[in-house]
Structures are given as structure tokens and as C-alpha cells.
A and B are shown apart, each in its own frame.
Chain A
Amino acid sequence: MKIYVCIKQVPDTETKIKLKADNGGIDPTGVKWVMNPYDEFAVEEALKLKEGGKATSVTVITLGPKARVVEALRTALAMGADDAVVVDAPEDLDPSATAKALAGAIKAEGGDFKFVLTGKLAIDDNAASVSQMLAEYLQAPHATVVSKLEAGDTNATIERETEGGTREVLQLTLPAVIAANKGLNMPRYASLPGIMKAKKKPVKELTLEAVGASAADIRVKFKNYQLPPEKPAVKMISGDSAAQAQTLAKLLREEAKVI
């Protein structure tokens, strides 16, 4: 059975964010694009499942302006995925439209799967929505923030971390959609032979129309972007340790009024 991994290309964490002149989004000039860090856990888990005989092949899917986002697919292929699908789409699709398009792409590929894996969230918009929406469109159970996955033939047991260090153990009837958290595994680096091989692996291109999605599926748009207000300069507290501690406690109580 197949595993699909849905990945997203995002600006690298270290990238300095500048806004477009009309404040309608970020200025892409000079942005370094990488695979969303959480998606690396999803790709790694899929590869491990295949290596453990729990799946026959791993297909990675992404969505966005194809010339750019295909690079994220090449990274996943270099890690060891078998093949890839890119859905050519504009930048500004929201989670609803994205999930619908990804579900459409999976159905276009045959629809049979054991797992669909994603990252728990993408670090650009931090929505953490596509995985659950995708599960809804695929009529499969889902689990998010997953830090442990044990796959059987007909079901999977997962562990997820929630508030206050609480752990939940869920059993899902397969097929299922899983959103990976840090801690699930240690993503491998692409080897040089892996990178060479990835160049020859098939990447199928699909249009948004072919996967049954359109701009009409968008439910949420972002506008009027703003940079955060400049913070006033830090107030440094001098003196010996005892004096510093005393002054700080006093400032927090009397000036900042937070204690």
C-alpha cells in the first residue's frame, strides 16, 4: 500500500521578512525557500514505514508555483521518496483550498493509501489545519502532533503530546492521516547518490483544475500585513547580583505591574 506525504515549501527561519509595497504579503525577493521543518519528520516516517515493510511506495506531493516548489519535492526524493506530484497553483491558497487540492491529487493518483503524512504545521502561516481538512476530504481518521507511530495491518497506534505534558494514545483504523511532530524520528540527510538519483525520479505535474479545486474554495485570506512595532530599548539593570535581583523584582512589581 502507498504512503503519500504532503509537504510545503516555506521561507527559511533565518530569512528576514520584508513586506510588499502594498502590504498584501511578504516580498519574495531574497527569500531562501526550504522544506517545512515538520514535513521532514513526515517524509522520514514514511521512508521508515516503507523500509519496515509496512508500505510499498512513498509519493510526495506539494502545491504552489511549480518552478519554485518543485525544489522541496527534489529534497524529499533525495531523502528516498519514490516519486512526486506537484499541483501548480498560485501562492495564496488557504488551508481549505490546499486540502481540497491535495485530496484531489491523491484521488487522481488512485486514491488507495495506507497513510497520508504531513507536518503538524507549516512555519509560515502556522495554521496547523491542512492535515485535518485533508482527512475530512479523504474520509479518513486523523491524528495531529504525533510523536510516535506504530503501524499494524489494519490499524495504527499513535501517541500525541498535548497540554501540560499529557500524552494521548489513539488507535486509528487505517487508512489514516497523520501530522508529525518533532520527536517522531530523526530525519535523514540526503546523501550525494540520493541527490543524483532524485534528479531522475518522476515528478508528475497536475493543474489545480485537474484535481478539482479552484480559487472559489478559498475561505480565508490574509491582508494588510504589518511589521511588529519597534520594541523600546531594553532597560539594563546594573549592580551586584543581589542589587540586580532586588531592582528587577521592584521594577516588575511597580513599573511593569506584572507581579
Chain B
Amino acid sequence: MAHVLVFTEFANGQLKKGSLELLSAARKSGLKIQALALGTGAKGLADALGKEGVDEAIVGDNAAFDKYNPELFTEVVAGILSGKKPEVVLASSTMLARDLFPRVAARIGTGVTSDCTEIEISSSGDVKARRPMYAGKCTAEVAFENSPSKIVLMRPNQLTITPATAAKSPTVEEVSAPAKDLKTLVKEIVKGTSGKLDLTEANIIVAGGRGMKEPGNFKMLEDLADVLGATVGASRAVVDAGWVPHTMQVGQTGKTVAPTLYIAAGISGAIQHLAGMSGSKVIVAINKDANAPIFQKATYGIVGDAFEIVPLLTEEFKKLLHH
């Protein structure tokens, strides 16, 4: 019987939202579901995976998997896919998966596609997926050829999470870290200080540009983001000016994001910026210039001074959300 393998990611013993989205999509197909989880605590996920309708949990509960080593992960994941031969492999289009799966695909001689926004899996394991092309100026359907396992990386926040109708008791299979001389060593991982969701995973993004007037005023955006549980982003102009680090940049040479709500404060909307955020579901533009291109992409627009409106908006949301 055809089956789907879901590469799950987790933190603090909880499956990430993106993984729940993938599992919902996998269940819809009616196919047998295998889930792979790598890292300390993976074994403890078996129950949670069962509740998500997983038939078979493949877990690497090993500290060797806590730090992403491309070479080690390729070895392990390619090994599992070669053995299990799933018709379809699903993963979230995260930094880790985007680094890993192309190499895995090359090793096992199959196809991979990233950043998909739509997917349908048939009961025979056929895949119909769609993804943005040319920075979202158009989309295209993905057709796999000569691919024993069709590897699809889904952009987070695109699929609906549906509750599983019946919990299962998955079989649990353990995988170990191969002892092998590696040409890749992970020397150091310096965690970002924000502790917030990454821009690519965030459900709400509050982004600022030149209209915030000076770097210190980004504090206003952080205050707004705190009230909404949002992540703060920025335009290229303020990154290049050194106000905020490049990791916060949304747009062509920064990150491509598609949150449910994107609030652009004092961002005029250069084409490179629009390329990175026009997939957002609801876009709010606040800008002094009524002719700013950002308004053409916006759902709601306010012509006004972002510097003045953002703190007022923070107060309004505080009132709304505390009732």
C-alpha cells in the first residue's frame, strides 16, 4: 500500500505547527502515515503522533540529532527513505529541510520541490502541488518524473489543521546515529536572542521601514508585536542602513513570508519587498505617502504617520484582546 512519510520538527516536546499542518494533509490522502522525528525527546512524541493518525513512528532519540549536521542528516534520512520507499515525503519548507532534502533527493535519485503553497495527495500516492515562481509573480503546478519518492516541502501557514478523527497506537522504530567520519563539523550554534517565532513561521508579522524615522522607534513595533504575539520584520532600506540585522529583512534578498496578517509600517513597498510578502493573507499598510506601491497589495490602508499610528494601534489591540 502506498504511504506518506512526514518529516516532523518539534520543540519542547511539542510538534511544531508546520508539522501538524503536514500531518493533516497526509491524513486527507487516506494513506498509511509514517512520521520521522530526530533529536532528544523524539521517542516521547509517539503518543502525540498517534493522536495525529500516524501508523508508524520512526524516532532518532539521540543528542547527535539535536544540532543539524547536513552530512549526518543526509546519511540518516536518505537511509530511511531508501528502506521505507514512501511514495510521498512531506516536510515544512524550513531552513533545515531546504538544506537537507535536495541532497537527500540527489543521493537516492528522486525529485524534490520546495516552498509549495498547495498540495493534494491521491489515494494512490500521486501528488498535485503548486508553488510560487518568479518571486510570486506567478505560480506553477509541480509534475514529478522518475521520482520513486516525491519529496514536497510545504511553506508553513498554508494548510489547514484538521483534528484527527481516530487516534492510533503507532509502532515505534528507533534509528541510531551512524558512526562515520564526517567532513562536516558543527562547531557552534548561537541561538538568536528574540525567542520569538522565526519570520518564516510567524502567523503575524509587524514590519517597519524608513517611515519609522529612527532605529530606536523599532521598540514601538516590538511593543505592538508583543501584544499580538507577532514577529518583527524590516525592509531592506533599514537593514542596509544598519538599524536592524539582516535576519529581520523581508523581501527578495531577505526572507519570503506568508503570514495570516502582515502589518507594514512606514514601508513604501519596493518591488523587492513585495516579492517577499505579497503571499500574506491580510496586509495592512500604514504610510504617509498615499501613492506608495504597498497600498496596491494591501487589504487595509491607512495614509498617516506610522510613527504616530503604531502606538495607538498597540493600545487598541490591548483593549480588544483583554476583553
Contacts and interface: CB of A to CB of B under 8 A. Distances in A.
B135 A13 contact: yes
A132 B184 CA distance: 13
A212 interface: no
A75 B89 CA distance: 39
Contact of B317 (A11, A17, A259): A259
A37 B320 contact: no
Contacts of A242: 312
A125 B252 contact: no
Interface string A131-147: 11101110011111101
Contact of A165 (B114, B147, B247): B247
Contacts of B281: 258
Given A129-B112, A144-B99, A170 B187 contact: yes
Q: Which of B145, B195, B256, B297 has the most CB of A within 10 A?
A: B145
A175 B321 CA distance: 55
A99 B100 CA distance: 15
B107 interface: yes
Nearest to A254: B320
Contacts of B105: 96, 129, 133, 219
A231 to B, nearest CB: 7
Given A168-B188, A227-B138, A237 B271 contact: no
Contacts of B180: none
A17 B134 contact: yes
B252 A37 contact: yes
Nearest to B188: A169
A14 interface: yes
Interface string B180-215: 001111111111111111101100100000000000
Interface string A222-253: 11111110011011110001101110111111
B166 interface: no
A94 interface: yes
Interface string A152-175: 000001000111111111111100
B162 to A, nearest CB: 18
Contacts of B194: 164-165
Contact of B95 (A141, A145, A258): A145
Contact of B302 (A140, A244, A253): A244
Interface residues of A, number: 83
Interface string B283-318: 011000000000111111111110011001101110
A145 B102 CA distance: 14
B282 A236 contact: no
A17 B138 contact: yes
A182 interface: yes
Interface string B130-154: 0011111111111111110000000
B62 interface: no
Contacts of A166: 189-192
Given A99-B106, A235-B300, A126 B256 contact: yes
B70 A141 contact: yes
B261 A252 contact: yes
A136 B137 CA distance: 31
Contacts of B110: 219
Given A95-B102, A141-B70, A162 B304 contact: no
A183 interface: yes
Nearest to A127: B114
B125 interface: no
A234 B134 contact: no
B201 A258 contact: no
B305 to A, nearest CB: 7
B99 A259 contact: no
Interface in B241-294: 245-248, 252-254, 256, 260-261, 271-272, 275, 278, 281-282, 284-285
Interface of B: 68-71, 74, 94-96, 98-100, 102-103, 105-107, 110-115, 132-147, 182-198, 200-201, 204, 228, 245-248, 252-254, 256, 260-261, 271-272, 275, 278, 281-282, 284-285, 295-305, 308-309, 312-313, 315-317, 319-321
Given A164-B195, A172-B183, 14 more contacts: A13-B252, A17-B138, A136-B74, A136-B103, A157-B187, A163-B95, A219-B112, A222-B133, A222-B142, A224-B140, A225-B133, A226-B138, A228-B136, A234-B301
18 contacts: A11-B134, A123-B252, A126-B256, A127-B113, A127-B114, A157-B187, A168-B188, A182-B254, A218-B145, A219-B105, A219-B110, A228-B278, A236-B295, A237-B302, A248-B284, A249-B319, A259-B317, A259-B320
Interface of A: 11, 13-14, 16-17, 19, 26, 37-38, 94-96, 99, 123-133, 135-137, 140-145, 147, 157, 161-173, 176, 182-183, 216, 218-228, 231-232, 234-237, 241-242, 244-246, 248-253, 256, 258-259
